[in-house]
């Protein structure tokens, strides 16, 4: 029997809402997972990508990560991992550095056997290069096998327009029969059984956006008797308080304050959504109220539509990004043009790094001539003169929360740092960190 922790999307280094406290939260969450691994004596920690939030983490993030990995090493628990889209670089990967220090194993098409289970890895692969994959893996003599990968796979996540990786196709094409497909990239936990193979996302260890409302945690995977068994374990995380306020006629900011004031806001991230027919509410005044009650940060969104009509265009500001997407769909742009537009506009990339981002995407797309062919209008009955008034899916209906927005829906490699960044040759010693809290074990729900 082999028992492992399946985790991923730790996004160490993410300074959400520009707050150093949130940056520390992401590292602390990784420490908690490792502390659980040591306390439980699991056989390995399997990380499904996006250990770091971007390709050039700061020194403090690297030292903190090294300290956590040394905790595992001291307990003789191997750390097996693949590279995610957020942390990938053109040259050497940070995971390679940790492997050279004997603190990690980068999984690939050769088996890494732990107990009676062979683990394989498939790093994040850009869409334009996936057709070249042959899914050939070296054979093994272990009783079980698992594939670890990073990306948005159908049928576990909805089609947001960039989900072109089919888990069923991977499993059917692979030269090895897998008992489990352990995935990262989707931040909410998901699982489905495909022809006897459990295919699962572990979810992120901290909330990277206001849309991630499930409890944070990881998967426990047990390989025994010719099958994989999954369970779910939560970990303590910073409290997120979600408040939805429905305003009736004549109601306004006092009603919002009344509803928000019913919660314990101390040190929490507070997310308020306002709907209904009441008076206009200034978000800044509500956020000031939230701050006075000891919250770490407050974010307020008025979800009510305030449409502006012009002679030619009917625009809704409920979701500006979706309005732009709808307008572009009527312009007959090629897949490559849409991809680059999404990279520049929707990925919230810093201006100084836009050129690097576009260069990366063009490099990925240039080998796919079909991507540059003009597209037919998605809606031939719509001349493209009007923009949709409402979002087309629950995913796109999420408001833009600024830096906390969920960028996991975009396969583009983020370029929050120079694209040619590569790990340093040497790394200073790190001090040990410690986690807190002991979560409870329960069935995967």
Say if strands 240-247 and 227-234 run parallel, antiparallel, or are unpaired.
Answer: unpaired
| Selected catalytic residue, list 6, 86, 144, 150 | 86
The span from the CA of 114 to the CA of 101, in Å, is 19
The span from the CA of 440 to the CA of 217, in Å, is 10
The span from the CA of 283 to the CA of 216, in Å, is 28
Total Cβ atoms within 10 A of residue 197:
23
The span from the CA of 47 to the CA of 99, in Å, is 14
Asked if residues 18 and 403 have their Cβ atoms less than 8 Å apart, the reply is yes
Q: Nearest Cα to 151, choosing from 95, 89, 84?
A: 84
Write the DSSP string, 154-192.
Answer: ETTS---S---EEHHHHHHH-SS--SEEEEES-SS-EEE
53 is catalytic: no
Residues listed for the chain = 445
Q: How far from chain centre, in Å, is Cα 268?
A: 21
Q: Nearest Cα to 202, choosing from 410, 10, 432?
A: 10
The span from the CA of 326 to the CA of 378, in Å, is 9
Q: Catalytic residues, which ones?
A: 86
């Amino acid at each position: 029997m082999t028992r492992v922790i399946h985790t991923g999307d730790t996004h160490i280094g993410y300074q959400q809402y520009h707050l150093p406290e949130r940056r520390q939260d992401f590292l602390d969450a990784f420490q908690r997972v490792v502390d659980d691994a040591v306390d439980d004596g699991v056989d390995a920690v399997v990380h499904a990508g996006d250990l770091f939030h971007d390709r050039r983490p700061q020194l403090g993030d690297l030292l903190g990560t090294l300290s956590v990995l040394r905790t595992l090493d001291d307990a003789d628990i191997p750390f097996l991992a693949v590279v995610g889209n957020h942390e990938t670089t053109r040259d050497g990967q940070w995971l390679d550095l940790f492997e050279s220090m004997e603190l990690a194993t980068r999984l690939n098409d050769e088996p890494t056997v732990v107990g009676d289970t062979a683990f394989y890895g498939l790093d994040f692969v850009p869409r334009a290069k996936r057709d070249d994959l042959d899914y050939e893996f070296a054979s093994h003599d272990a009783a079980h096998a698992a594939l670890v990968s990073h990306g948005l796979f159908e049928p576990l996540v909805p089609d947001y327009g960039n989900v072109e990786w089919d888990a069923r196709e991977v499993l059917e094409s692979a030269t090895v029969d897998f008992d489990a497909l352990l995935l990262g990239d989707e931040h909410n936990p998901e699982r489905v059984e495909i022809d006897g193979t459990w295919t699962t996302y572990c979810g992120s260890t901290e909330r990277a956006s206001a849309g991630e409302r499930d409890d944070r945690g990881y998967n426990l995977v047990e390989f025994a008797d010719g099958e994989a068994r999954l369970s779910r374990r939560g970990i303590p995380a910073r409290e997120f308080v979600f408040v939805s306020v429905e305003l009736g006629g004549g109601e306004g900011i006092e009603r919002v304050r009344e509803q928000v004031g019913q919660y314990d806001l101390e040190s929490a991230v507070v997310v308020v959504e306002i709907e209904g027919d009441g008076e206009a509410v200034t978000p800044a005044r509500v956020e000031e109220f939230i701050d006075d009650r000891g919250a770490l940060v407050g974010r307020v969104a008025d979800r009510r539509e305030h449409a502006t009509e012009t002679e030619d265009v009917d625009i809704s500001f409920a979701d500006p990004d979706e309005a732009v997407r709808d307008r572009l769909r009527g312009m007959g742009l090629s897949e490559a043009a849409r991809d680059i537009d999404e990279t520049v506009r929707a990925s919230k990339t810093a201006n100084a790094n836009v050129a690097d981002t576009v260069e990366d995407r063009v490099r990925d797309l240039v080998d796919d001539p079909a991507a540059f062919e003009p597209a037919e209008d998605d809606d031939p009955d719509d001349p493209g003169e009007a923009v949709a008034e409402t979002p087309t899916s629950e995913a796109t209906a999420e408001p833009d929360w600024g830096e906390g927005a969920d960028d996991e829906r975009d396969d583009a490699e983020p370029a929050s740092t120079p694209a040619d960044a590569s790990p340093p040759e040497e790394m200073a010693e790190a001090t040990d960190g410690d986690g807190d809290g002991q979560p409870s074990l329960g069935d995967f729900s």
